Structure 1
Amino acid sequence: MNLRFDQKTLTNAGNVLVCCAVAALGCAGLLWVNGPLPFLLGSLLAVAAYSIVVSSIWDVMPFFPVAFRQIGVAILGAMIGVRFSQTEMLDMSGLSISLMLVIPLMLVMHGAGYAVLRTLGQYDRTTAFFASLPGGLIEASVLGEKAGGDAACISLQHLVRIMLVVLTVPIFLSQMSGDSLRVAQAINEPSDAFKMLDLLLLIGVAFGGMSAARYLRLPSAHLLGPVAVGALFSLCGNVQIDPPAWLIAGAQIVVGVSLGVRYAGTSANALVSGLINGLCVVGVTLPLAFFAAWCVHPFSPASFEALVLCFAPGGVAELSVIALSLGLSPVLVALHHLIRIGGALGWAVFVGWTGRVTS
Structure 2
Amino acid sequence: MRKKGQWLGLLALTVLLAAGFSALELPAALLLGPMVAGIAVALGGASIRLPDTPFVLAQAVVGCLIARAASPAVLPEFLSHWHLFSLVILAGIVASAAMGLVLCRLRVMPGTTAIWGASPGGAAAMVVMADACGADARLVAFMQYLRVLCVALAATVVARAAGGSAPPHQATVWLPPLTAGLAPALGLIGLGALAGLCTRLSGGAMLVPMFLGAALRLTGLVEIDLPPWLLAAAYAAIGWRVGLGFTQKVALYAARAVPAILVGILALIAFCGGLSWLLAKTTGMDPLTAYLAASPGGMDSVAVIAASSPGVDFAVVMTMQTMRFFLVVLLAPPMARFLAGRAEARGGEEKKEEVKAEECLRRPGA
Task: Quickly name the TM-score band, shorter chain normalised.
Answer: 0.5 to 0.7
Q: Tell me which residue corresponds to 2:146.
A: 164
Q: Tell me which residue corresponds to 1:307.
A: 294
CA distance in 1, matches of 2:222, 2:212: 12
CA distance in 2, matches of 1:345, 1:242: 32
RMSD of aligned C-alpha atoms? 4.3
Residues 117 and 332 from structure 1, CA distance in 2 versus in 1: closer, same or farther, beyond 3 angstroms? closer
> Contact 2:34–2:236 (CA<8 Å) still a contact in 1?
yes
User: Among 314, 323, 329, which residue is 1:338 paired with?
Assistant: 329
Give ranges in structure 2 of 5+ residues lacking alignment.
120-125, 308-317, 352-366
Instruction: Give the AA of the match of 1:274.
Output: A
User: Is 1:203 the equivalent of 2:186?
Assistant: yes
Tell me the alpha carbon deviations over residues 199-228 of structure 1, each in whole angstroms, 9 at most, x when there is no partner: 232111122245458878655322221121
CA distance in 2, matches of 1:71, 1:198: 18
CA distance in 1, matches of 2:202, 2:301: 22
Instruction: Give the AA of the match of 2:191.
Output: G
User: Is 1:51 the equivalent of 2:42?
Assistant: yes
Q: Tell me which residue corresponds to 1:272.
A: 255
Instruction: Give the AA of the match of 1:207.
Output: G
Q: TM-score, normalised by structure 2?
A: 0.67
Residues 31 and 96 from structure 1, CA distance in 2 versus in 1: closer, same or farther, beyond 3 angstroms? same
User: Is 1:109 the equivalent of 2:100?
Assistant: no
Instruction: Give the AA of the match of 1:18.
Output: G
Q: What displacement does 1:158 show?
A: 2.9
CA distance in 2, matches of 1:214, 1:18: 29
Tell me the alpha carbon deviations over residues 266-310 of structure 1, each in whole angstroms, 9 at most, x when there is no partner: 3664343133333333333343344334544665898643532xx
Quote the sequence identity (%): 17
Residues 182 and 67 from structure 1, CA distance in 2 versus in 1: closer, same or farther, beyond 3 angstroms? farther
Give ranges in structure 1 of 5+ residues lacking alignment.
1-6, 145-150, 313-318
CA distance in 1, matches of 2:129, 2:176: 42
Q: Tell me which residue corresponds to 1:223.
A: 206
Residues 15 and 235 from structure 1, CA distance in 2 versus in 1: closer, same or farther, beyond 3 angstroms? same
Instruction: Give the AA of the match of 2:172.
Output: I
CA distance in 2, matches of 1:191, 1:117: 45
2:249 aligns to what SS in structure 1? coil
Instruction: Give the AA of the match of 2:326.
Output: L
Structure ID, larger Rg = 2
User: Is 1:351 the equivalent of 2:351?
Assistant: no
Q: What displacement does 1:78 show?
A: 1.8
CA distance in 1, matches of 2:102, 2:172: 45
Q: Tell me which residue corresponds to 1:99.
A: 86
> Contact 1:76–1:223 (CA<8 Å) still a contact in 2?
yes
Q: TM-score, normalised by structure 1?
A: 0.68
Q: Tell me which residue corresponds to 1:21.
A: 12
Q: What displacement does 1:181 show?
A: 5.3
> Contact 1:81–1:331 (CA<8 Å) still a contact in 2?
no
Q: What displacement does 1:29 show?
A: 1.6
CA distance in 2, matches of 1:290, 1:210: 39
1:1-359 counterparts in 2 under 5 A? 11=3, 15-52=6-43, 54=44, 59-82=45-68, 84-93=70-79, 94-115=81-102, 118=105, 123=107, 130-133=112-115, 134-135=118-119, 157-178=139-160, 186-188=171-173, 192=177, 194-195=178-179, 197-209=180-192, 211=194, 219-236=202-219, 238-266=221-249, 269-296=252-279, 299=283, 304-308=291-295, 311-312=296-297, 328=318, 331-348=322-339, 351=342, 355-358=345-348, 359=351
Instruction: Give the AA of the match of 2:50.
Output: F
Q: What displacement does 1:35 show?
A: 4.2
> Contact 1:82–1:234 (CA<8 Å) still a contact in 2?
yes
Q: What displacement does 1:320 show?
A: 6.3
CA distance in 2, matches of 1:143, 1:79: 20
Q: What displacement does 1:350 show?
A: 5.7
Residues 225 and 306 from structure 1, CA distance in 2 versus in 1: closer, same or farther, beyond 3 angstroms? farther
